[in-house]
Amino acid sequence: MGRLDGRTAIITGAARGIGAAMARLFTAEGASVVLGDVLREEGEALAAELGPAARFHPLDVTVADDWSAAVAVAEEAYGPVSVLVNNAGIVDFGTVGEQSPEAFRRVLDVNLYGAWLGLHTAVPSLRRAGGGVVVNVSSTAGLMGYANLGAYTASKWGLRGLTKSAALELAPDEVRVCSVHPGPIATPMTAGLDPSLVATQPLPRFGRPEEVAQMALFVVADATYSTGCEFVVDGGATTGSPLPVEAP
């Protein structure tokens, strides 16, 4: 018996990286999953590999009609949505003085507005399911600041804030809303980043997408008394300064 038997899930950004690891784990645990992504070829290949409990649906999270169709497809194929994972995200590097306004807006659009639109569209289905769980994939950039990542950091703090408001609003419907905050994870998003990025954190390595997927599974299946709160999976990156405080 799986821990997600009978659950219908939508996972965004599921064609690769963290979202793909979640799709694999959630279907292995018995959920039926709609994989939403703009990467059609990769998404369809993964859905085919996962079998009848998975199907790909082309979804740009910033497009309202795409969301309506994804929720309708999920309901029709598997029943009302009781798990929504807002995982799709993009990154753009640039200082506040140098990043273009278009790039800033695009990052906010995908990472924050896209998740809001997903919640907004899925709420009736979550209610029809009799309750459920929304997992918003934020970041350690939703817990602290990073230089050269202002747009990304703003989007991930915004997603953490949205999580709290939605948790308050949806608790009467038995819908929990939580944020997951990964540190540096080895995915296409971080490919090519300087490995020294992780050298000073307590666990000095990149995390694996599967380790974030396990956290999301815990939030959905086990954390039944948790809502509106943060689940951190970061190798200790936000724990504090690695420099010992020397006696004066």
Among 8, 12, 32, 201, binds ligand NAD (CB under 6 A): 12
Interacting positions 136-195 with ligand NAD (CB under 6 A): 137, 139, 182, 184-185, 187-190
For residue 179, list its beta bridge partners: 136, 230
Task: Confirm whether 113 is a catalytic residue.
Answer: no
Q: Is 112 in the site for ligand NAD (CB under 6 A)?
A: no
Region binding ligand NAD by CB under 6 A among candidate stretches 7-15, 67-75, 123-131, 213-221: 7-15
Q: Considering 78, 113, 146, 152, which one is annotated as catalytic?
A: 152
Closest contact distance (angstroms) between CB of 67 and ligand NAD is: 10
Region binding ligand NAD by CB under 6 A among candidate stretches 2-10, 32-40, 45-53, 220-228: 32-40
Q: Is 60 in the site for ligand NAD (CB under 6 A)?
A: yes
Among 90, 103, 108, 223, binds ligand NAD (CB under 6 A): 90
User: The tokens of 242 are what?
Assistant: 């690695």
Closest contact distance (angstroms) between CB of 1 and ligand NAD is: 29
For residue 185, list its beta bridge partners: 207
**CB closer to ligand NAD out of 132 and 182:** 182
Closest contact distance (angstroms) between CB of 86 and ligand NAD is: 8
225 torsion bin: left (phi>0), alpha (psi -120 to 50), beta (else): alpha
Q: Are 207 and 189 in contact (CB under 8 A)?
A: no
Active centre residues (catalytic): 152
- Write out the residues near ligand NAD by the rule CB under 6 A: 12-13, 15-19, 37-39, 59-62, 87-90, 110, 114, 137, 139, 182, 184-185, 187-190
